[in-house]
């Protein structure tokens, strides 16, 4: 019996997977009635695969929505390396996005951005040889030269090349961290509205580099999703420096795919050329690094004038103001319609224990009547979203002052979500009621 057949014999069922571009053999296997993902690589890949497995294991430990690590070993004869992971149920984001409304796409993109930020925050500072500038251009310069010599020019190609030359120094001194390596909608699974990330096995720049480089595969064919991913990553505070690098990474990645498609996948050349034309156009012929689809939705979460997506606002509240060790459970409850009321009710009884008190700017039983709170409310325009087990409050959108008065009049806990802040009224109990104004970290 060969090494693969020997390992597969421990499972009740094994179904080969053909989708994807990984060099690994992949199987959906069943062990003790539970589906799992098995990846098989050559024996020479042992050290690299071991590093991948240990990294994914660390993400498991950090509570990130990624596959669980179950087993890692090498065959007795040393010819194969086996990685066994949990099977994440659901559908690929690439398959569900076409059937979603713009608001739903934005909410899913917001989750994708938030997860990516948390991955980068967890990843240690990279100990890579050479700086990011040198590593990036050592790979990209030959591809750019190939385009200059053999690529098919398109409307905007000269502007892309000029933009690169004018902005290449932006890469100097960039921080580095570990990458996912292939962060796009084909590697995201959606189940019950919650997004998880799969396929942590792609090697791109050694999976180490500028964290913002991971936006070079952003799904701009769904503008609401793309906008959500950027807002989710930066919690709505997108730095100006990001846009110039984003325009560079996205346009250069598209440009350097032309020659590859021309000689290795000619059937894809038409779609690759159309992608390049679209990318150049979205940046106004490379004159504006903020893409047109983001400018059209700068009200953060709005689609054709609609209200912001409540799911994205709820996730922002949890990630910004709830203690890290309590975030994932509460978020899972609030994002699932069947569990949402239970989550709100639990928050109602445990608000003071769940909040990250470092974010508290004001507090007190008379909060809504304080002069400094009223000044704060008057300076904030727009409507706030209310969350509460009380159906009279839940889902309401009101100015902050009115929302605070409504919350104070009730007895259940209530959360008031605004841009960059939240106001929390704990449950009214004997002995008092906790009330807090929290502001996002600047």
What pLDDT digit, counting tens, does each position of 190-206 carry?
988 889 999 888 767 77
Residue 379 lies in a domain: yes
Nearest alpha carbon to residue 143 among 261, 273, 267, 265? 261
In a shared domain, residues 154 and 230: yes
For residue 90, pLDDT over 70 is answered with: yes
For residues 49 and 109, state if they share a domain. Answer: no
**Cα gap 178→220, rounded to integer Å:** 24
To the nearest whole percent, how much of the chain has pLDDT over 70?
93
46 is a domain residue: yes
| CA neighbor of 143 nearest in space, from 160, 118, 122 | 160
Q: Rounded to an integer, what distance in angstroms lies between the CA atom of residue 85 and that of residue 68? A: 6
pLDDT band at residue 22 using 50, 70 and 90 as cut-offs: low
Does 80 score more than 70 pLDDT? yes
Host H or E run for residue 259: helix 257-264
Q: How far is CA 129 from the centre of its chain?
A: 28
| Structural domain that includes position 98 | 91-295
The neighbour count for residue 50, using CB atoms within 10 Å, is 14
> Helix, strand, or coil here: 129?
coil
Q: Say if residue 145 is in the same domain as residue 271.
A: yes
Q: Are 125 and 177 in contact (CB under 8 A)?
A: yes
This prediction has a pTM of 0.70
Residues 384 and 424 in one domain: yes
Report yes or no on 303 lying in a domain.
no
| Spatial contact of 196 and 96, defined as CB atoms under 8 Å apart | no
Beta bridge partners of 86: 36
The residue-averaged pLDDT of 5-25 equals 80
CATH number reported for the structural domain that contains residue 253 in this entry: 3.90.1200.10
Q: Verify that 244 and 277 share a domain, yes or no.
A: yes
Whether the per-residue pLDDT at 437 is higher than 90: the answer is yes
Terminal alpha carbon distance of the chain: 60
Same domain, 184 and 117: yes
| Dist CA 47 CA 193 (whole Å) | 36
Residue 113: what pLDDT? 92
Q: Looking at residue 304, what is its pLDDT? A: 44
- Across the chain, mean pLDDT equals 86
Within a domain: residue 305? no
- The least confident of 6-15, 47-56, 83-92, 269-278 is 6-15
Q: Are residues 376 and 244 in the same domain?
A: no
Tokens of 269: 């050349």
What pLDDT sits at residue 229? 93
Residue 130 pLDDT exceeds 80: no
Paired sense of beta strands 397-398 and 384-387, if any: antiparallel
């Amino acid at each position: 019996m060969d090494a693969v057949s020997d390992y597969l014999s421990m499972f009740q069922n094994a179904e080969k997977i053909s989708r994807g571009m990984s060099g690994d053999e992949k199987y959906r296997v069943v062990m003790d009635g539970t589906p799992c993902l098995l990846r098989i690589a050559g024996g020479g890949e042992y050290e690299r695969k071991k590093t991948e497995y240990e990294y994914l294991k660390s993400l498991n430990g950090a509570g990130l929505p990624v596959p669980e690590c179950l087993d890692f070993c090498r065959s007795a004869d040393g010819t194969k390396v086996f990685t066994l992971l949990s099977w994440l149920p659901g559908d690929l984001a690439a398959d569900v996005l076409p059937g979603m409304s713009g608001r739903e796409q934005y909410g899913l993109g917001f989750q994708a951005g938030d997860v990516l930020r948390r991955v980068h925050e967890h990843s240690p500072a990279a100990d890579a040889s050479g700086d990011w500038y040198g590593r990036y251009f050592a790979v990209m310069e030959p591809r750019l030269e190939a385009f200059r010599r053999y690529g098919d020019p398109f409307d905007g190609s000269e502007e892309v090349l000029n933009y690169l030359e004018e902005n290449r120094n932006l890469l100097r001194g960039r921080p580095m961290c570990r990458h996912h390596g292939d962060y796009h909608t084909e590697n995201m699974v959606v189940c019950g509205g919650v997004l998880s990330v799969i396929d942590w096995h792609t090697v791109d720049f050694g999976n180490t580099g500028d964290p913002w480089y991971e936006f070079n595969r952003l799904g701009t064919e769904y503008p609401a999703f793309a906008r959500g991913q950027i807002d989710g990553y930066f919690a709505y505070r997108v730095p100006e420096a990001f846009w110039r690098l984003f325009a560079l990474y996205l346009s250069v990645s598209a440009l350097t795919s032309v020659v590859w498609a021309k000689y290795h996948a000619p059937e894809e050349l038409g779609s690759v050329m159309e992608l390049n034309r679209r990318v150049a156009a979205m940046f106004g012929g490379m004159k504006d690094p903020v893409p047109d689809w983001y400018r059209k939705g700068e009200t953060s979460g709005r689609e054709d004038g609609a209200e912001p997506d409540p799911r994205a606002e709820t996730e922002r509240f949890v990630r910004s103001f709830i203690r890290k060790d309590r975030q994932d459970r509460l978020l899972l409850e609030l994002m699932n319609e069947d569990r949402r009321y239970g989550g709100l009710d639990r928050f109602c009884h445990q608000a003071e224990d769940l909040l990250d008190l470092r974010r508290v700017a004001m507090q007190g039983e008379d909060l809504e009547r304080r002069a400094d709170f009223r000044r704060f409310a008057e300076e904030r325009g727009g409507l706030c979203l209310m969350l509460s087990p009380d159906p009279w409050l839940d889902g309401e959108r009101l100015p902050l002052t009115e929302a605070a008065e409504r919350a104070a009049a009730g007895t259940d806990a209530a959360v008031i979500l605004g841009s960059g802040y939240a106001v929390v009224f704990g449950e009214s109990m004997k002995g008092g009621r906790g009330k807090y104004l929290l502001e996002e970290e600047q």
